[in-house]
């Protein structure tokens, strides 16, 4: 046994030993041929900083194990990635590497002419490294770019500079503003004042948000909703250093930030609410610099601007539509001191839910209209309070293990308190409720596309608030008011709807948004099932016989056990329908998925029929499609409620079987 084990083990070591130690034995070759070639520089070189683009670093040699010196880390290759050949002495030679992706951690290893190694890892709390060589002697500087995954490539740009005020940001090199005084211009040569509306004017009041923040502000990030885009093409400015920006904006800024305090950084992130718009971000700093960005890292679409060691003063911000003239769009604009990105920033808005159990999405509440012509915020108070029922939201909507808390709390009536007509597809909507003293209300909102939102407490109070952040949707929303701790018959208070900044902390705040009516809106989805539809003997709002479900997908198929039949003649609801059905639906589902074709069919005993009423108010019926089994196809499923009846062609017998809902149109009652 021992010999049989030992011999293969020795052979294994003999075979693998060289491979295992190859990276450890590899010798760094500073004089080796660099992958990206040689850059030859003389004192006074221009431009300064000099950018060496599109470098690829990384390798199999662990710089830490080589003990090259302080901050020497990362995996590098045997030969340098690039060599800088310096033709004369410099007081300072600064090397900075900016990775293509803001989330990639990189290093620098530099072999100087005197044979020493200088290294850089994180700089100013950022992943991008910097190496300073004071009194840089003439000669060759071999440069390696390291990563933290063995043999994993890292990509980016190297900057070579003599400027002690240039340092790495997260996505680019940060340069000081020029301090050279302008040359005096003779009075007769003075450029006339630009025509208003033809340039970015920081003196104009912000269209949407005017805020003052100081170091350590909470909550961080600060979030505001802005409406970007416009008819003014970038870059129109009176400043000569305004470059690198593209897109369309308005003359006045969207946000003005008055900043105070000392901080290592400020970051501005812009995230369109529609997930479609190509956006860009423009920031003017208190010292007159223009900072622009269209994507915070290659492969991403959302922009971010970083200001390191931000000066106190006024920052003005524009949200640009990068490609479309005049097209307005809504976006979340974040200001943060954290090292987040547009991808990782804590998202604003109340999380959407696929369904809230216990509430009747097919019932109607008191009708209300919320449009651009009425008051905002719209305040609604029931004379005797909002009705409360016995539906225990927390018990019926407890999160599964490992799932986030739903926010659904308290007791509510099954039917909504209000049905709100939203004729405009608002990209941002806030609903909140301020209860009478001593009450603890809760709130549930269902949007026309089937998304649900719950909240209990907000803004440091017992007043619930729901923030609905895109995508924009028009139609009929439903609102339930609940009570947290008791089965009261009603809860007194005022319900508010706003597309602005009103909140339980400031319910009378004005609407700061302009341009909502200019946003290019897709055709609104269909309303929820209208109460006016003629259903004859059928009641689509009654409790279904075999349950209900919220569906965002029917792939794999959703299958329900049903028994068809009843006392009602389906033809009296619609002449195209056949069979005996019950007055109430056999099944009901709330479709929140895309507008894909849906197929419904029944297989089982007897001779079943099928009746489907969609959110468009149209009955779709079938008797026999495959043998005696019925099939109904919905060409493009609109979001909303679908009531389904399974009938029996022979009124004297029932038809037990299975109802299938699927996106796969190759499926039929008899195969495949």
Three-point CA angle 567, 570, 571, nearest 5°:
130
Question: Do the domain assignments include residue 553?
Answer: yes
The range of the structural domain enclosing residue 387 comes to: 366-512
pLDDT reported for residue 233: 85
102/231 same-domain check: no
Domain stops at, among 290, 314, 336:
336
Best mean pLDDT range from 116-120, 355-359, 574-578: 116-120
CATH code of the domain containing 634: 2.60.120.380
d(CA 106, CA 157): 11
The answer to whether residues 321 and 370 belong to one domain is no
Distance CA 146, CA 58 (A): 5
260 and 379 in a single domain? The answer is no
Query: Is residue 422 classed as helix, strand or coil in its secondary structure?
Result: strand
pLDDT for residue 261 is more than 60: yes
- Predicted local distance difference test score (pLDDT) of residue 170: 73
Of residues 483 and 16, the one with the higher pLDDT is 483
* Buried-state track 191-217, b at ≥16 Cβ within 10 A, e below 16: eeeeeeeebbbbeeebbbbeeebeeeb
Single residue among 149, 174, 199 that ends a domain in this structure: 174
DSSP 161-229: E--TT-EE-SSSEE-PPP-PPPPP--GGGPPPPPPTTSS--TTSPPSSEEEEEETT-SSSSEEEEEEE-
Residue 521 covered by a domain: no
| pLDDT tens-place string over residues 567-621 | 999 888 777 799 999 999 999 998 888 888 999 999 988 899 999 988 777 789 9
- Cα dihedral 572, 573, 579, 580, rounded to 10, equals -80
Q: Report d(CA 243, CA 553) in Å as an integer.
A: 46
For residue 464, being part of any structural domain is answered with yes
| CA atoms of 577 and 632, how far apart (whole Å) | 11
Q: Are 458 and 416 in contact (CB under 8 A)?
A: no
Whether 12 is in a domain gets the answer no
Q: 430-469 burial, b for 16+ CB within 10 Å, e for fewer? A: bbbbbbeeebbbbbbbbbbbbbbbbbbbbeeebbbbbbbb
In a domain, 5, yes or no: no
- Express each pLDDT in 476-507 by its tens digit: 899 999 999 877 788 999 999 998 778 898 89
Q: Let me know whether 489 and 444 are in one domain.
A: yes
pLDDT of 19 over the 70 cut: no
Residue 288 Ramachandran class (φ > 0 left, ψ -120 to 50 alpha, else beta) = left
Number of domains in the chain: 4
Q: Which residue did the predictor score with more confidence, 461 or 175?
A: 461
Annotate 567-606 with b (16+ C-beta within 10 A) or e (fewer).
ebbbbebbeebbbbbbbbbbbbbbbbbeeeebbbbbbbeb
- Do residue 166 and residue 43 come from a single domain? yes
The full 3-state SS of 272-333, as one line of letters, equals: ECCCCCCEEEEEECCCCCEEEECCCCCCCCCCEEEEECCCCEEEEEEEEECCCCCCEEEEEE
Give the model's pLDDT for residue 647: 94
CA-CA distances (angstroms) from residue 454 to 64, 464, 470, 514, 666? 51, 9, 16, 28, 38
Q: Do residues 493 and 400 both lie within one domain?
A: yes
Report the pLDDT value the prediction gives residue 17, as an integer from 0 to 100: 46
Q: What are the DSSP E strand ranges found in 90-168?
A: 90-99, 107-111, 117-120, 130-136, 139-146, 154-161, 167-168
Distance from chain centroid for Cα 264: 26
Predicted local confidence at residue 158, as pLDDT: 94
Q: Percent of the chain having pLDDT more than 90?
A: 40
- Chain segment 521-544, per-residue pLDDT in tens: 444 333 333 333 445 678 877 789
Same domain membership, residue 53 and residue 118: yes
Residue 229's nearest CA partner among 28, 442, 427, 4 is 427
**Of 665, 461, 658, 459, the residue nearest 562 (C-alpha):** 658
Angle at the Cα of 520 from the Cα atoms of 518 and 523, rounded to 5 degrees: 125
pLDDT in tens, 414-456: 999 999 988 877 778 899 999 998 899 999 999 988 889 999 9
How deeply is 316 buried, as exposed, middle or buried, from its count of CB atoms within 10 A (0-12, 13-18, 19+)?
buried
Does residue 15 register a pLDDT over 50?
no
Q: What is the rounded end-to-end Cα distance, in angstroms, of the chain?
A: 56
Q: CA-to-CA distance for 478 and 415, rounded, in angstroms?
A: 9
Q: Is residue 468 part of a domain?
A: yes
Average pLDDT value for residue range 399-425? 82
Instruction: For residue 66, give the H/E element and its range.
Output: helix 63-66
> Tens of pLDDT along 76-110?
999 999 999 999 999 999 999 998 877 789 999 99
* Most confident residue range from 171-175, 188-192, 427-431, 605-609: 605-609
| Domain identity same for 372 and 497 | yes
Q: 299 and 402, same structural domain?
A: no
Residues 553 and 611 in one domain: yes
* Residue 500 within any structural domain of the chain: yes
Question: How high is the pLDDT of residue 2?
Answer: 33
Per the document, the length of the chain is 672
- Long-range Cβ pairs for the range 177-184 (8 Å, 24+): 177/241, 177/287, 177/288, 177/289, 178/241
In a domain, 452, yes or no: yes
């Amino acid at each position: 046994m021992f010999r049989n084990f030992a011999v293969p083990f020795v052979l294994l070591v003999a075979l693998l030993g060289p491979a295992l130690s190859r990276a450890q034995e590899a010798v760094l070759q500073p004089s080796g041929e660099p992958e990206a070639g040689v850059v030859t520089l003389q004192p006074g070189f221009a431009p300064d900083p000099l950018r060496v683009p599109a470098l690829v670093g990384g390798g199999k040699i662990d710089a830490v194990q080589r003990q090259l010196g302080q901050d020497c880390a990362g995996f590098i290759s045997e030969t340098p990635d690039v060599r800088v050949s310096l033709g004369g002495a410099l007081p300072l030679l600064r090397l900075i590497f900016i990775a293509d992706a803001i989330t990639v951690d990189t290093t620098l290893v530099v072999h100087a002419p005197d044979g020493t190694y200088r290294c850089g890892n994180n700089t100013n709390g950022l992943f991008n490294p910097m190496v300073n060589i004071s009194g840089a002697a003439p000669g060759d500087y071999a440069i390696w770019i390291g990563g933290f995954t063995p043999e994993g490539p890292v990509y980016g740009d190297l900057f070579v500079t003599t400027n002690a005020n240039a340092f790495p940001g997260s996505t680019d090199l940060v340069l000081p503003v020029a301090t050279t005084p302008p040359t005096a211009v003779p009075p007769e040569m003075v450029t006339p004042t630009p025509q208003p509306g033809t340039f970015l004017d920081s003196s104009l009041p912000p269209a949407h948000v005017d805020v003052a923040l100081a170091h350590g502000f909470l909550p961080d990030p600060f979030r505001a909703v802005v409406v970007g885009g416009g008819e003014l093409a970038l870059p129109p400015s009176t400043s000569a250093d305004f470059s690198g920006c593209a897109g369309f904006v308005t003359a006045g800024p969207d946000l003005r930030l008055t900043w105070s305090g000392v901080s290592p950084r400020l970051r501005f992130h812009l995230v369109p609410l529609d997930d479609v718009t190509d956006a860009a971000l423009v920031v003017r700093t208190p010292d007159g610099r223009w900072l622009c960005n269209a994507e915070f890292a290659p492969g991403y679409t959302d922009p971010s601007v970083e200001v390191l060691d931000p000066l106190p003063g006024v920052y003005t911000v524009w949200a640009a539509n990068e490609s479309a003239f005049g097209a307005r769009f809504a976006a979340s604009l974040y200001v943060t001191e954290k090292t987040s990105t547009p991808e990782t920033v804590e998202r604003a808005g109340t999380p959407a839910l696929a369904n809230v159990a216990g509430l009747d999405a097919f019932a109607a509440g008191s009708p209300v209209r919320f449009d651009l012509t009425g008051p905002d915020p719209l305040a609604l108070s029931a004379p005797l309070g909002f009705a409360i029922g016995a539906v225990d939201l927390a018990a019926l909507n407890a999160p599964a293990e490992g799932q986030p808390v739903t926010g659904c709390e308290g007791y509510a009536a099954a039917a909504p308190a209000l049905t709100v007509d939203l004729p405009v597809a608002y990209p941002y909507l806030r609903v909140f409720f301020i209860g009478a003293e001593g009450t603890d209300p809760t709130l549930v909102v269902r949007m026309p596309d089937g998304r649900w939102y719950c909240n209990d407490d907000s803004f440091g109070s017992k007043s619930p608030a729901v923030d609905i952040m895109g995508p924009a949707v028009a139609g009929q929303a439903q609102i339930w008011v609940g009570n947290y701790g008791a089965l009261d018959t009603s809860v007194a208070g005022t319900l508010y709807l706003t597309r602005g900044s009103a909140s339980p902390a400031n319910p009378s705040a004005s609407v700061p948004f302009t341009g909502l009516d200019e946003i290019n809106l897709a055709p609104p989805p269909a309303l929820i099932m209208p109460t006016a539809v003629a259903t004859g003997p059928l009641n689509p709002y009654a409790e279904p016989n075999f349950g209900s479900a919220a569906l965002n997908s029917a792939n794999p198929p959703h299958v329900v056990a049903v028994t068809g039949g009843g006392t009602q003649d389906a033809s009296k609801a619609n002449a195209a329908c056949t069979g005996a059905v019950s007055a109430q639906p056999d099944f009901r589902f709330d479709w929140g998925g895309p507008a894909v074709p849906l197929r419904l069919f029944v297989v089982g005993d007897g001779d079943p029929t099928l009746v489907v009423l969609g959110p468009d108010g149209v009955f779709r019926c079938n008797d026999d499609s495959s043998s005696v089994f019925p099939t109904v196809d919905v060409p493009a499923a609109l979001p909303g409620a679908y009531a389904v009846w399974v009938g029996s062609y022979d009124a004297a017998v029932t038809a037990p079987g299975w109802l299938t809902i699927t996106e796969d149109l190759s499926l039929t009652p008899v195969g495949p």
